[in-house]
Amino acid sequence: MTSSNPHLSDVASKTGYRARLPDENGYIDWPEQDNATWQTLMQRQLGMLEGRVCQEYLDGLERLALPEDRIPQLADIDRVLQAATGWQTAQVPALIPFDTFFKLLANRRFPVATFIRTPEELDYLKEPDIFHEIFGHCPMLTNPAFAEFTATYGRLGLEAEPKQRVYLARLYWMTVEFGLVDTPAGRRIYGGGIISSPKETLHALSDTPEHLPFDPIEALRTPYRIDILQPLYYVLDDLTTLHDLSQQDIMAMVHRAMELGLHEPRFEPAPKAAKA
Which secondary structure element, helix H or strand E, spans residue 199, and what is its range?
helix 198-204
DSSP secondary structure letters along 108-132: TEEEEES----GGGTT--SS--HHI
In angstroms, rounded to a whole number, what is the distance separating the alpha carbons of residues 24 and 206?
45
Across the chain, how many H-helices and E-strands are there? 13, 6
The entry of Fe ion, ligand PHE, ligand H4B, none that residue 95 binds, CB within 5 to 8 Å by partner kind: ligand H4B
Determine the Cα–Cα distance for residues 145 and 247; give it in Å rounded to an integer. 11
What residue number has its CB nearest to Fe ion? 128
User: Whose CA is closest to 117, among 106, 108, 130?
Assistant: 130
- H/E element, 252: helix 250-260
Closer of 7 and 103 to ligand PHE (Cβ)? 7
Name the site residues for ligand PHE (rule: CB under 6 A): 124-128, 132, 177, 193, 196-197, 226
226: partner contacted, choices Fe ion, ligand PHE, ligand H4B, none (Cβ within 5-8 A by kind)? ligand PHE
Closest CB to ligand PHE among 128 and 157?
128
CB of 128 to ligand PHE, least distance (A): 5
User: Would you say 23 and 40 are in contact if contact means Cβ atoms under 8 Å apart?
Assistant: no
Query: Among Fe ion, ligand H4B, ligand PHE, none, what binds residue 221 when CB lies within 5 to 8 Å by partner kind?
Result: none
Nearer to ligand H4B, 52 or 132 (CB): 132
| Calpha distance 107→210 (Å, rounded) | 34
Phi, psi torsion values for 147, nearest 5 degrees: -65, -40
Pick 20 or 255: Cβ nearer ligand PHE? 20
Binder of residue 169, out of ligand PHE, ligand H4B, Fe ion, none (CB less than 5 to 8 A by kind): ligand H4B
Site residues, Fe ion (CB under 5 A):
128, 192
State how beta strands 109-113 and 232-236 pair: unpaired
Q: How far is the CB of 271 from ligand PHE (least distance, A)?
A: 18
Shortest distance in whole angstroms from residue 204 CB to Fe ion: 14
Strands 186-189 and 180-183: antiparallel
Q: Which does 125 bind (CB under 5 to 8 A by kind): ligand PHE, Fe ion, ligand H4B, none?
A: ligand PHE
Contact 245, 171 (CB under 8 A): no
Q: Which is nearer to ligand H4B, 95 or 195 (CB)?
A: 95
Contact positions toward ligand H4B, by CB under 6 A?
8, 92, 95-96, 98, 101, 111, 113, 128, 169, 172-173
Q: Which does 196 bind (CB under 5 to 8 A by kind): ligand H4B, ligand PHE, Fe ion, none?
A: ligand PHE
Nearer Cβ to ligand H4B (90/205): 90
